[in-house]
Amino acid sequence: MNRKAIATKVRNQELIVAPGIYDLISAKMADRMGFDALYVTGYGLVASYLGLPDAGMATYTDMLNRISRMCEMTDTPVMADADTGYGGLLNVAHTVKGYERAGVAAIQLEDQQFPKKCGHTPNRPVIAKADMVKKIKVACDARTDEDFLIIARTDARAGLGLDEAIERAVAYGEAGADVLFVEAPESIEEMQKVCQSLNKPLLANMVTGGKTPVLPGKELKALGYTIAIHPAAGFLSCAAGLEKAFMDLREHGTVTDATPMYDFSEFTNMIGFPDVWAFEKRYAED
């Protein structure tokens, strides 16, 4: 974990493209790819751990236990979804401190009412702007490392319109948020308006099949975005691969050459078996 590296890039508004990780296999795989940061997706984590929708059913403890392990097992800075902070102001402070201790480089907090929902699904009411401003102030006060970034997300676009969402983002930036995240603009024109209206580093949520146009990094940078997260890239591609492999197995009684498979030896190396073998060799009985 290197918070300074990602914080410096964000402050210099250098483009950061981050894949979504949701379990330890996706985390270890992405960690090998040379990304500037990884993004723990709440949607993917809840789906892989609980088999449930991202609708506020995962607890702070559920999330922290898994995020801690992801940070421990990777070298790339980790940005992590913390939903609404899991409660009131005291909960927000507790969440920020827990994520910071776990090694997270940037925490994302949002202004939805509890229970929250995925930002590219309907029915996402938000709390009062003043209440979220307090949450951001508490979050900033609770951190001990200034390089631990606070990402403030607003979901107001869906129910209250883009102008309200931008107004909220301005307020959250004034409250101390390091990165502003206007969730789910629905056109390139709306994305342009967001970027032209805000003067802090901005995050774009590139959800395949979601409400926001998915654009290449260069185009997002030209618009004015600093961070582009791709939360669904991992779990959607994994689901497609699993479906293909399991259908192949069901139809043929084996997995045929028609199904792409990751090399078993390479996977064994990635997951850490060489360290086990070295340990066993070192302490082998004579």
Look at the chain and report how many structural domains it folds into.
Answer: 1
Per the CB < 8 A criterion, the answer to whether 245 and 239 are in contact is no
Q: What is the reported pLDDT for 55? A: 86
Q: Do the domain assignments include residue 223?
A: yes
| Any domain includes 29 | yes
With respect to residue 260, please indicate whether it lies within any of the assigned structural domains.
Answer: no
pLDDT at 115 over 80: no
What's the whole-number average pLDDT of the chain?
A: 94
264 is a domain residue: no
Percent of the chain's residues with pLDDT above 70? 96
pLDDT, tens digit, 9 for 90 and up, residues 160-189: 999 999 999 999 999 999 999 999 999 999
Reported as a single tens digit per residue, the pLDDT across 16-70 is 999 999 999 999 999 999 999 999 999 999 999 999 998 888 999 999 999 999 9
Would you state the pLDDT for residue 31? 97
Q: What is the number of residues in the chain?
A: 286
Sign of CA dihedral 234, 48, 64, 73: negative
Whether residue 53 is contained in a domain is answered as: yes
Whether 256 is in a domain gets the answer no
pLDDT band at 269, cuts 50/70/90?
very high
CATH of the domain at 19: 3.20.20.60
Least confident segment among 4-13, 41-50, 118-127, 185-194: 118-127
Bridge partner list, 18: 229
Residue 275 forms part of a structural domain? no
The whole domain housing 198 covers 3-238
Phi, psi of 19 (to 5 degrees): -80, 155
**pLDDT tens digits, one per residue of 187-240:** 999 999 999 999 999 999 999 989 999 999 999 999 999 999 999 999 999 999
> Structure pTM?
0.94
Q: Considering only CA atoms, which of 103, 126, 106, 123 is closest in space to residue 114?
A: 126
Residue 221 covered by a domain? yes
